[in-house]
Structure 1
Amino acid sequence: MTKSPFLQSVESFMIARRYSRRTISTYLYWMKYFIVFNNKQHPSDLGNVDIERFLTFLAVDRHVSAATQAIALNAIVFLKTKFLKQEVGHLTQFSRSRRQRKLPIVLSRTEVSALIGQTSGVTKLMVSLLYGSGLRRMELLRLRIKDIDFDYCQLQVWNSKEEKHRLTTLAEELIEQLKLQISQVKAVLAEDINNKEYAGVELPDSLADKDKETAFQLDWHYLFPASKNSPDPESSLLRRHHFDESALNKKIKQAAALAGIEKQVSSHTLRHSFATHLLQSGADIRRVQQQLGHADVKTTEIYTHVLKQGAQGVQSPLSNL
C-alpha cells in the first residue's frame, strides 16, 4: 500500500509503541479508506458525522461483517484519539452490519488424523499443536520455549503484546517431539551466538530495555525459529525471528490436498476443530472458552451451532431400526 507522509507518520507512531505489524497494516488500510471516502480531507477536520457516514457505507454498500465494521471503527478511533489527540463522542447514528457470521469449517477426527498423517518433522509438530492445543496461527509461531510446562502438560499463550496470557492444554503425546525441537533450537542458538552481529531474539516491551542478556537465553527464543537470521524491520538489528506464517499456511494446504480433504483448510480450521471436538466430547462450554481465550462466551457458542448444523440435532429414524 502506497502511504502518504501523513500515514507514514501514523505508521512510525505505531511502530514506536510496538504494535504488531499485522495490526499496523490493518489499521493503516482502514485509515486510508476512511480518508479517501471523505474526499481526502485531513482526518483532524472530520467529525463524528463523517465517521458514522463511513461506517454506514461499509454496512449498507460494502456489506461487510460486523467484525470487519468493528475493526474499521477501532482503526478510526485510534487515529482520532491516540494519534490526533481528539475526542470521539458516542457513535450511535450509523447502520450496523447485519451480515451473519458464517459457521466455521470443521474437520472430522478422521480428517484431522489424515491431515497430520501427510506432514512430517517440524510441520507435523506445528499442525499437531494447532489442533491439539487450539492455538491461533500467530500464537503458535510466537511460542517461546519458556511457555511450555511439561510438568502440568500446558502451554502459556500470550497476546501479541505479551501482556495477557491464558493456559491451554498440551497433549502428552507431543512431549518427546517438543523436547527434540528444543534441542534443535539450542543447537541453532549456539551457532547464532558465535556470530558477533547477532543481537538476540526480540523481547517484549517489559524486558527489551532492561536486560540485554535475556535476548540470548534459550528459554526466550522461539520454539519454531526461522531458517535464517534477518534484520529486524524496526531496529535493523540482526535477529532470528519465528517461522514464517505464509510458509505454514502453504504446508497446511498441501497436506490437506494430499489427504484428499475437499474442505477449505487453514490453520484456523484446526482451531475450530479443536473447539468442536471438545464440545462433542462433553466439555463444558466455559472451559472451552478459557482454552480458546475468548473474552465473551457468545464467541464460543458458535461451535454449538456447528454441532447442530448437519441434522439440527435430530437422529435419523434409520438408526433405531
Structure 2
Amino acid sequence: MAEKVLMKGNEAIGEAAIHAGCQCFFGYPITPQTEVAAYMARKMPKIGRVFLQAESEVAAINMVYGAAGSGVRVMTSSSSPGISLKAEGISYIAGAELPCVIVNIVRGGPGLGSIQPAQSDYFQATKGGGHGDYRLVVFAPSSVQEMVDLIQDAFDVADIYRNPVMVMGDGMLGQMMEPVEFKERPKREIPSKDSWAATGLHGRKQHHVINSLYLQPEKLEEHNKKLSKKYAEIEKNEVRYETYNCEGEVDLVVAAYGTVSRIVKNAIKILEKEGIKVGLIRPITLWPFPKKAFEEVTGRTKHGFISVELSEGQMVEDVMLSVKGRKPVYFYGRSGGMVPTPAEIAGRIRAIVGGEK
C-alpha cells in the first residue's frame, strides 16, 4: 500500500499530474489556485519536464493547444475569471480534438467577485464556456484524495477521447489539507497518438495538421457530427456518481457535488435522528450528468429532490431535466463565498418534508 502524506489540495493536484505523466504545465497565478502553479514551478524542472508561467491566461491556453498538438500530456490550471479568459482557446482545443487537462478551482463571482469558494462556474463548465458545439468532460471531486484520483483519470480520459477534461473543485478543496496516497491505478488502453500528433516525424504519407478551421459548411457539419458521436460515447461510458442512503423509500433526495456533498452528509445524520430519511446523489461527472441515478430513485422519494449548491441555482436545472417533472425539485444555495452549515441544510429539508415550500 502506498504511504499516505498530508497535502494541501492545490499541491496534491500538481503531484497527481506528475504521477499521471504530465510533461508540460502552462499557467498564470490567480487565487485560490496559485499553489498549483507554484508547486509545478518547483517540481517540473527538477524532473526534466516543462513549467512555464505565461504572460496571461490567453497565452497559457494557447501554449496548451500547441503542446497537446504534439501529443504530450499537458495541463493548465486557473480560477473562475481565468477560465473565462481561456474559453476561446478551450473551444479551439475541443474543435481540434486535442487531449489536455484543465483545472478550475472555483471562486465567487460574477466579475472579479471574491477569492472565497463557490460552485457558480457550473454553467460555464457543463454547457460550454466558449463558442460552438463542444463538450468538456467535467469531474467534480469531493476530497483531496478524490482530486488526486480524478486528476490522474482525467489524463487517461482526455487521451482516450481526444478531448479536453476539466477537473472542477471549489476554493475549499484547493486550500484544505488531507492525507492522500498516490495509488497504482487500473490501466486503461490509450490509443496511439501517431495517427494524428504533429511530431515532425519524416516518412509519413501525409502531414499531420492540427486545425479547427473548416471554411466549407459541409465539412464543418461533418466535423460536428463526428464530435457529437464522440460525446455520445462519452455519455455512454464515463458517467460517474455516488449514492448515499438511497436504499428503499426516502423522504427526500439531495443532489450535491464537491465539498457541499460532505456537508450534506452531516445534515442527513442530523435528520436521521429525527426519523427523517434523506438520500444523496453526488454527481462525480458533472458532464456527462448522471441522469439515470435520478430516474432510478424518482419512484422512491416521497417529497422529491433538492439541489444544494454554492451558487444561485445552476445544477438544479440538470436535476429538473433528469426528473422530467415526475417529482418536485427544490433548491437551496449560498453564494458569494458563503458556505451553508449542516444545520441550515437540515432546516431547509425539514421545512420541505413538513409541507413548507
Class of the TM-score when normalised by the shorter of the 2 chains: under 0.3
Greater CA radius of gyration, 1 or 2? 1
Bigger proportion of residues as helix: 1
What's the TM-score once normalised by structure 2's chain length? 0.23
